[in-house]
Structure 1
Amino acid sequence: MTETTHAEAGTATTTAARAHARSQAGTVVDCMPQLPPPAGTLWSETVAAGGYTHLVLPAGAHVALTDRDGDACAHLLLFVTDRPWERLNPADTVKVQWNAYLRLGSQLLSDQGRVLATLVADTSGRHDALAGASTAARNRARYGDGAAHGPSPAGRELLLLAAAKQGLAPRDLPAPVSFFRGVTVAADGSLLPTGSAGSGAEVVLRLEQRTTLLLANTAHPLDPRPAWHCTPLRVTVTPGAVTAPGDPHWDTTPERHRAHLNTAALGAR
């Protein structure tokens, strides 16, 4: 028998296919969830370059995103679980806080004026709330392919897959915010990419409501390099508490204070 025939014979019957599948138990690869999660965590996963994840997380959870090798780009969407019509609004996020740039202490705001998450740690400083995610058409034009399972997947295509697994439709998806690939606004209003902060950079988001999180790890739409680039992203979720009165983040500005009051008034805590 040829080598190919031997491989085919290994899964040629249902019994053989089952035995082959079960033999893979315990196999560890570079990009995968850790099951069970390590002690003290709710979830731990390495998202491949060109991959995505989707999680339903409790209020107060701390989501640590780590640019492991220096070329990740985390395109993030947040929805209030069981109330998905309330979702991340990047325009309100920058407008209400009078700042086009995400930084330590920034809130990710919903379209209802409530806080979805607070940025409580940041060693990157290279983020974007303005450009959104790449599209299949844009990636086809730039790289020759933009399909979710192709060699240069577009951010929106990956987020659509993540959304579908949470019962969300294309019409439910706003533009995401992106972490680890920064942009600045030039005097003429154009967006200028600033690249990454390098390997090991990390941000931590404290979730202020019970949250459905969608994340795509793929090249930023304004990446100036002619070829598609992306590296794995680590996601680690630990339990915690929401921001409360007396926390330094509660009163940093009048606008942020009001957003926390709006959230607390809903009973989201």
Structure 2
Amino acid sequence: MTGLTESTFDPAQAVFRETVPAGEPFIRVVKKGEVFRILDLEGNQAVDTLFYNAENPDERYSATNTISSQGNIYLSTGTRLISSDGNAMLTITADTCGRHDTIGGACSAESNTVRYALEKRHMHSCRDSFLMALARWDNGLSKRDLSSNINFFMNVPVTPDGKLDFADGISDAGRYVEMKAEMDVIVLISNCPQLNNPCNAYNPTPVEVLVWDAASQ
């Protein structure tokens, strides 16, 4: 990985722009060659994300293959996001945050209960958002297709004894991560609603999604 890298793309030239409110899902197909950006509008906002091969959704993002191929548990510029079949799905081409998590997973009713308290079980979670998006899109994917996700902008240090620590984020307002699609991919996002740990500074906020087509490059 090469660390912090600015993008050369002009937001005014994007072929698609959409604000994703705090706690809401997003789903879209990004075509091969298109460039996809997630922009942290207000800072310190975790964005849980899954990727699927749009032609064959049984092939999807693999945290295990991505980590083993790059020898690093954190993602940044230069990281290739590898599929369950060993293929490159996207390449991170620009990153002004510098660290993204791929081992912390997504919050759910069950994890909110175990980590925090029984009364937290019914709080909205990223798993809920993923399922809402899949239900609205009606593309044949279901809860069986939810695998280990990326947490863009989320800071999850690994302690010396091998445990995960959900720490205060390192992103700030206006920081972004940008990826070039190496195949047609389904992008599934939960703009994290978590209120019980500092991954969203205890105050979930909106993000923006932008896409540039191959002709813009």
Q: What interval of TM-score do these two structures reach, taking the shorter chain for normalisation?
A: 0.7 to 0.9
Contact between 2:23 and 2:190, CA under 8 Å: does it hold in 1? yes
Q: CA deviation at 1:103?
A: 1.4
Aligned-partner residue type, residue 111 of structure 2: R
Partner of 2:127: 156
Deviations 1:28-63 (A, max 9, x none): xxxxxxxxxx97433210000001110012101111
Equivalent of residue 107 in structure 1, options 75, 80, 86: 80
Partner of 1:236: 210
Contact between 1:66 and 1:234, CA under 8 Å: does it hold in 2? yes
Contact between 2:45 and 2:199, CA under 8 Å: does it hold in 1? no
Give the gaps of 5 or more residues in structure 1. 1-37, 242-269
Contact between 1:44 and 1:236, CA under 8 Å: does it hold in 2? yes
Q: CA deviation at 1:220?
A: 5.8
Q: Say which SS state the counterpart of residue 58 (structure 2) adopts.
A: strand
Partner of 1:26: none
Aligned-partner residue type, residue 198 of structure 1: D
Partner of 2:144: 171
Contact between 1:104 and 1:119, CA under 8 Å: does it hold in 2? yes
* 1:118 equivalent in alignment to 2:91: yes
Equivalent of residue 85 in structure 1, options 58, 69, 75: 58
Q: Say which SS state the counterpart of residue 214 (structure 2) adopts.
A: coil
Q: What does 1:1-269 align with in structure 2 at a 5 Å threshold?
A: 40-140=13-113, 142=116, 144-145=119-120, 152-164=123-135, 165=137, 166-192=139-165, 193-219=167-193, 223-224=197-198, 228-240=202-214
Q: CA deviation at 1:183?
A: 1.5
Distance in 2 of aligned mates of 1:236 and 1:116: 18
Distance in 2 of aligned mates of 1:132 and 1:194: 16
Distance in 1 of aligned mates of 2:149 and 2:44: 18
Q: Say which SS state the counterpart of residue 99 (structure 1) adopts.
A: coil
Distance in 1 of aligned mates of 2:80 and 2:195: 23
* Bigger RCO of structures 1 and 2 (CA < 8 A, at least 6 apart): 2
Q: Against the structure 1 CA distance between its residues 113 and 209, is the aligned structure 2 distance closer, same or farther, given a 3 Å change threshold? A: same
Q: Say which SS state the counterpart of residue 94 (structure 1) adopts.
A: helix
Q: Against the structure 1 CA distance between its residues 177 and 222, is the aligned structure 2 distance closer, same or farther, given a 3 Å change threshold? A: farther
Q: How many residues are paired up? A: 200
Partner of 1:13: none
Deviations 1:120-177 (A, max 9, x none): 0000123100011001123356374555xxxx42111111122232320111111110
Bigger CA radius of gyration: 1
Aligned-partner residue type, residue 138 of structure 1: S
Distance in 2 of aligned mates of 1:114 and 1:100: 18
Q: Against the structure 1 CA distance between its residues 45 and 145, is the aligned structure 2 distance closer, same or farther, given a 3 Å change threshold? A: farther
Distance in 2 of aligned mates of 1:39 and 1:202: 16
Q: Say which SS state the counterpart of residue 65 (structure 1) adopts.
A: strand
Contact between 2:46 and 2:199, CA under 8 Å: does it hold in 1? no
Q: CA RMSD in A?
A: 2.4
Contact between 2:32 and 2:182, CA under 8 Å: does it hold in 1? yes
- Percent of residue pairs bearing the same amino acid type: 32
TM superposition score normalised by structure 1: 0.68
Q: Say which SS state the counterpart of residue 205 (structure 2) adopts.
A: coil
Distance in 1 of aligned mates of 2:78 and 2:59: 21
Give the gaps of 5 or more residues in structure 2. 1-10
Task: Tell which deviates more after alignment, 225-234 or 89-98.
Answer: 225-234
Distance in 2 of aligned mates of 1:211 and 1:112: 14
